[in-house]
Chains A and B, each alone.
Chain A
Amino acid sequence: MNSTAPSPVRAGDPASQTADAVPAVDVKGVTKRFGATEVLQGIDLSVPAGATTCLIGPSGSGKSTLLRCIAFLEEATTGTIAIHGDPLGFAEGPDGKRTRLSPQAIRTVRSRIGMVFQQFNLWPHMTALGNVCEALVTVRKMKRKDAEERGMAQLTRVGLANRAAHYPSELSGGQQQRVAIARALALDPEILLFDEPTASLDPELTGEVLNVMRDLASSGMTLLVVTHEIGFAATVGQRIAFLDHGRLLLNGSPREVFGEPRHPRLAQFLETYLDRGAATLL
């Protein structure tokens, strides 16, 4: 980290953390190596409950990998992650050694997390409602009728009640992503993770997904969003974490992070972002 950076906020600076007793997600010293490449180089991040935290940063900065580690779709090479205080995947003993938890314990902690993917990942052989109800029936053992009632409520919440009987191939990208959000919501997660939820959408379909996310954010759910939508991050995000080259450079409120004076690396990132935006206008 650049010690001469003019930014008022530093990653890991206790003053920049909310006073909340138990964070929704507590990432401690997480590294992730793929072969010789160290994608995450020691991340400490605490995600406050009941707020929206946005992870931003250049491509390849490790933000998606961090999110996937928090979802336990990837296993952190070192470090620990806790969900509302409960260790996920690995627990750290008093001697600092990591031990792997039982599959049952992993499943229990993980069931409190929902995930929305960049590629939507709806199951193509099920209708929108079928996608939303699948885990309610197979995992939560709900009666089909009760599951469908709950599924319809979630589809209504994302404005797609009239598309319940449609298959994913019959829906637009934006609609598919909203179904994916309903599918995650149906399981009543405490934390909802978004991995670049609008990155595979046409610009005109991005809005409908961001609107749903805005509603969720204002409902007080804990959201952790990896996004390239800087506007969304600045207006909806209550916390902004800026990653670069596998390190957490900044972590604070939008005002702290985006306000002047800016961290030079962030300024550079935002500039290329504006360049790209300007390029599309020409």
Chain B
Amino acid sequence: MSLDFGLILKQMPDILSGLWVTLWMWIVATLLGAALGFLVAVGRRYGPAPLDWLLKLCVEMLRGTPFLVQLFLLYFGGPFIGLRLEPIPAGLLGLTVYAAAYFSEIFRAGFQAVPKGHVEAADMAGLSRAQILRRIILPEMTMLVLPQCVNMAIVLIKETAILSIITVPEMTMVIGAIGSQQYAFVDAMFLLAIIYWVLVEICGFLGRLAEARLSKFRFAAS
């Protein structure tokens, strides 16, 4: 077979609008997910034990079930508990919560990876607990978790494709629909694959750039 993107690319405005939805939902869900995940990690580390258990249960459920199933439950099951959401808000909420579960685990590991001695040195210098968290633990953790965060962002950009099944007008849904109309479904999927790959490569490149900038802060061998 020969691939022909001509028919599909004729509908450029639709494709661009799908790309836009994919991009903004991805960026917002990643940022909100990271922020929420951070709060969860802080709550689990510094909060009372029951809060830790409760949050752990939520994280385990979210990590233990497919995103597709979570999304179905939110979108089709939500109305049964009075949660009636349009596709875009439902997709954004689902993706954010899903991201938060993974980000919380990344941050939890990051907290544990900050050397105890660095905290003791700050303690000896007279820094309060809040100052130690803000001035020592957070910056050190950021450098430690950056690669995993970039990795998570890459996973999330691909998960946005799943939002198409609850009719979020993102790139997979738009290009898939065009492909069906034009009897060029495989061509459409091939084009989609290329676009996702390019987005992932750009994301990875930005991540490496950030890592390079932080590399001089890396842990000194001792």
Q: Which residues does A use to contact B, with CB under 8 Å?
A: 71, 73, 107, 110-111, 113-115, 117, 119-125, 134-135, 138-140, 167-171, 173, 176, 180, 183-184, 187, 200
Chain B interface residue count: which class? 20 to 34
List, in ascending order, chain B residues with CB within 8 A of A122's CB.
121, 220
List, in ascending order, chain A residues with CB within 8 A of B125's CB.
134-135, 139, 183, 187
Within 8 A of A (CB), among B158-181: none
Given A134-B122, A138-B135, A139-B131, 8 further pairs, Cβ under 8 A: A71-B124, A117-B121, A122-B121, A123-B121, A134-B125, A169-B218, A169-B221, A184-B124
- Report how many A-B pairs have Cβ atoms within 8 Å: 84
- Set B136, B143, B222: member contacting A176, Cβ < 8 A: B222
- Set A121, A169, A200: member contacting B120, Cβ < 8 A: A121
Is there contact, CB below 8 Å, between A119 and B222? yes
- Set B117, B120, B126, B218: member contacting A139, Cβ < 8 A: B126
List, in ascending order, chain B residues with CB within 8 A of A134's CB.
122, 125, 127, 135
In the complex with contacts A167-B217, A173-B222, A124-B120 CB distance below 8 A: no
B60 within 8 A of A: no
Of the A-B pairs whose beta carbons lie under 8 Å apart in the complex, a sample of 23, sorted by A's number, is A73-B124, A111-B126, A117-B117, A117-B121, A119-B117, A120-B222, A121-B115, A121-B117, A121-B118, A123-B118, A123-B140, A124-B143, A135-B122, A135-B125, A138-B131, A139-B125, A139-B127, A167-B216, A169-B219, A176-B220, A176-B222, A184-B124, A200-B222
List, in ascending order, chain B residues with CB within 8 A of A170's CB.
216
CB of A115 to closest CB in B, whole Å: 4
Is there contact, CB below 8 Å, between A114 and B126? no
* Closest chain A residue, CB of each to CB of B125: A135
Is there contact, CB below 8 Å, between B222 and A169? no
CB of A121 to closest CB in B, whole Å: 4
List, in ascending order, chain B residues with CB within 8 A of A173's CB.
222
Top 6 closest A-B pairs, CB basis? A135-B125, A121-B121, A121-B117, A168-B220, A139-B126, A169-B220
